[in-house]
Structure 1
Amino acid sequence: MLSTPRQLLMDLSLKISSALRLLGDNSKTEYATYQEVLRKVSEDLKKDCKSSTLIPEINVRDGGVVTHCHAALATLFIESVRGGHNASVVTSALEDLNWPADRLTETVQELESNRQLIQSRLASLGTYPPHIVDVDWKLNYRVRSSAGEEGGGAMYLVTLHTQEMEGKRGKVTFSCSLAELTHLVTRLRQATRCIQKYANNS
């Protein structure tokens, strides 16, 4: 079921709604200032960002009014895409905030021109499994255990060096027998073949 404009506004805080109302008010926000905010939001949403949020920043001016309007418009763009609200829903929502036709049309057109990019950016956010960037291993032959029992023979100590979000490095260390290591390598080769097959068919 398609969300109504009221449902869209309910997803935004009172502070965001108030800032959007201010941005659309001809008597309080000059058209040049509105255009600057719209341009800056569009530019910032196109930039690569390593943080976990898409909400951009802007230098504080006029007691922070421009900053609040900028953050509010960016939030509207992002929440509209995240919630799957189409242009007609956003249009009705801005009409509820008494936006004039010219600013409303220009804003919705800018949102639609950036919709796919915002969707892509949203999909890339959040946590993801670490990537393996290097491997160290060594052979550890245990003759006797600490309890004096006979050891289990050769064991491999493997360390996977990983890279996480924002370049953070980590390590995953485990030990395994030759049979277990062989099984692991076999499964990895099977996974590689499946990925290559999928890539060739796509």
Structure 2
Amino acid sequence: MNSLNLSEDVLKGVETLSDEKLIAENVFKHIIDCCFQVILKRKTESDLFENKAISSVDTIALKQTYSAFIVFILETMKINYDQASIKNLLEEHKLSQNRIDFISNYFKEYRVAIRKVLSVTNFHFPHIIDVNWRLDFFMKSNSVEKLNQPVYIINLTTEQEENIKGKVQFACTLEQLQDLVFKLRDAQKQIERSSIKS
């Protein structure tokens, strides 16, 4: 399993959720619900402050705790942390068993939905899954009587992580195609060198 890297600020924010004097039970439940709903794009951060019970909590502490728990959810779900590991982490940061169980139920209910949101909101480039090409030959143009120039039409089929296919098409001369192939071979060699070193 991948290791979980959470900053000290995030861990302090999560630990604040254990302070039952600072964060009453109804406020705690509202914060947890709001964090999950914001990630799922069902609510916005402003919904956090609409609950009247929230007014009893220091605004700065509330914002820090809210932000920290959002990061906690996203980081644990990004590496697909299991329920037992999440519970252990919450125990380490002094949350009561009732609060751990409450949070755990949210993870259980929304795990798949959050992982789906994370897979859609990533910054990965599309993968090339197929390449087709054809050679066109221009005999003449409007301005020049004889041209006799080959042009390569390249079609790339791409796929995003969520299985959405796309097409990229471009035309190039023989020299441009040779340059592209040379650069791809160079990239391949660089990758091979890197994998040997590591």
Q: TM-score, normalised by structure 2?
A: 0.57
**Where does residue 113 of structure 2 map in the other structure?**
117
**Where does residue 74 of structure 1 map in the other structure?**
70
Equivalents in 2 of 1:48, 1:80: separation in Å? 20
Equivalents in 1 of 2:116, 2:100: separation in Å? 24
| 1:95 maps onto 2:98 in alignment | no
* Identical residues among aligned pairs (%): 15
**Where does residue 31 of structure 1 map in the other structure?**
25
The amino acid across from 2:24 in the alignment is E
The amino acid across from 1:88 in the alignment is A
Compared with structure 1, are the counterparts of its residues 174 and 91 closer, same or farther at alpha carbon in structure 2 (3 Å cutoff)?
A: closer
Compared with structure 1, are the counterparts of its residues 144 and 47 closer, same or farther at alpha carbon in structure 2 (3 Å cutoff)?
A: same
Equivalents in 2 of 1:19, 1:106: separation in Å? 17
Structure 1 segments (4+ residues) deviating >6 Å: none
Equivalents in 2 of 1:175, 1:142: separation in Å? 19
Deviation at residue 127 of structure 1 after TM alignment: 4.2
Please say if residues 90 and 100 of structure 2, whose CA atoms lie closer than 8 Å, have aligned partners that are also in contact.
Answer: yes
Equivalents in 2 of 1:22, 1:106: separation in Å? 16
Please provide the CA RMSD for this pair. 3.5
Please say if residues 17 and 72 of structure 1, whose CA atoms lie closer than 8 Å, have aligned partners that are also in contact.
Answer: yes
**Where does residue 106 of structure 1 map in the other structure?**
102
Compared with structure 1, are the counterparts of its residues 110 and 175 closer, same or farther at alpha carbon in structure 2 (3 Å cutoff)?
A: closer
Please say if residues 31 and 66 of structure 2, whose CA atoms lie closer than 8 Å, have aligned partners that are also in contact.
Answer: yes
Equivalents in 2 of 1:48, 1:40: separation in Å? 9
SS for the counterpart of 1:77 is helix
Please say if residues 34 and 45 of structure 2, whose CA atoms lie closer than 8 Å, have aligned partners that are also in contact.
Answer: no
The amino acid across from 2:19 in the alignment is D
| 1:41 maps onto 2:35 in alignment | yes
Please say if residues 142 and 154 of structure 1, whose CA atoms lie closer than 8 Å, have aligned partners that are also in contact.
Answer: no
**Where does residue 141 of structure 1 map in the other structure?**
141
Deviation at residue 176 of structure 1 after TM alignment: 6.9
Equivalents in 2 of 1:142, 1:127: separation in Å? 43
Equivalents in 1 of 2:170, 2:142: separation in Å? 15
Deviation at residue 84 of structure 1 after TM alignment: 2.3
Unaligned stretches of 5+ residues in structure 2: 50-54, 127-137, 152-167, 174-198
Q: How many residues align?
A: 138
Unaligned stretches of 5+ residues in structure 1: 50-55, 130-138, 156-171, 178-202
Compared with structure 1, are the counterparts of its residues 34 and 86 closer, same or farther at alpha carbon in structure 2 (3 Å cutoff)?
A: same
Please say if residues 18 and 94 of structure 2, whose CA atoms lie closer than 8 Å, have aligned partners that are also in contact.
Answer: yes
**Where does residue 163 of structure 2 map in the other structure?**
none
Please say if residues 141 and 154 of structure 1, whose CA atoms lie closer than 8 Å, have aligned partners that are also in contact.
Answer: no
SS for the counterpart of 2:20 is coil
Deviation at residue 39 of structure 1 after TM alignment: 1.2
